[in-house]
Amino acid sequence: MKLFSPSSTPPSRATARNATLLNLFATPGLGSLIGRRWLAGSGQLMLFLTGFVLFCVWNFNIISNFYKLAFSDYPPPVDHSGNTAWAAVSLCLAAWLWSLVTSLSLMREAAAGRQQSLENFAAPPPLKLAESKILSALAAIPNWQLSGEKITRTYEFKDFPAAIKFVETIGAIAEQAWHHPDIDIRWNKVTLTLTTHDAGGLTEKDFKLARQFDQL
């Protein structure tokens, strides 16, 4: 996944909730990154950290002037650091407000994804495809193999963490579609098997999900 590409799946309710709590009550931007809003999260975090650094500089000047006043016979120079304090507060507030907007967006997406999942769950089972339609649909996903009433594909990654990250992503897609593949993990290889048990064979849902997995 590219660093600044948007997530292809809506966040879960738990992810959206945790991201919101981190954004609003901990560090603005950190929750956005957890919610896979890479560009927004990076900008929010940068704004907040810049404001925090300016705030530390302002505090250092205040403490420095205090010690000069306490241990020097001469008055300290006129303090012009008030502008720094206002800049720090403004940047932190801007980061917080930006993260609030992102958090609300994540919550809306999670709610929409949950609603879609419920609709998919309540929908009637799809019809089993005829053999001619199966062969036609299979031509659009050449990396998948037909095995009886199932289609399978093995994905290979650079290491085990990359394979697990892929499994987590497809898990979110499958949950939203309410159609779950069989998953076999062998270190850096992930084998997926799709079939529609309710229909007794392959349906359009299997091929639609396979195309979504390939897009990752």
Q: Give tens-digit pLDDT for 162-205.
A: 999 999 999 888 887 788 899 999 999 999 999 998 888 899 98
Same domain, yes or no: 110 and 158:
no
Q: What pLDDT sits at residue 3?
A: 40
**Looking at the structure, do residues 41 and 84 belong to the same domain, yes or no?**
yes
More confident residue, 76 or 105: 105
Cα separation, 78 vs 58, in Å, equals 14
Nearest to 194 by CA among 216, 175, 174, 166: 174
pLDDT at position 93 is 96
Range with lowest mean pLDDT among 92-106, 111-125, 138-152: 111-125
Q: Tokens 């349906």 appear where?
A: 203
For residues 22 and 114, state if they share a domain: yes
- CATH number, residue 146: 3.30.1360.20
Q: What integer pLDDT is reported at residue 4 of this predicted model?
A: 38
pTM of the model: 0.54
Number of domains in the chain: 2
Residue 36 near residue 103, CB atoms below 8 Å: no
Residues 6 or more apart from 191 whose CB is under 8 A from it?
A: 152, 153, 154, 155, 183, 184, 185
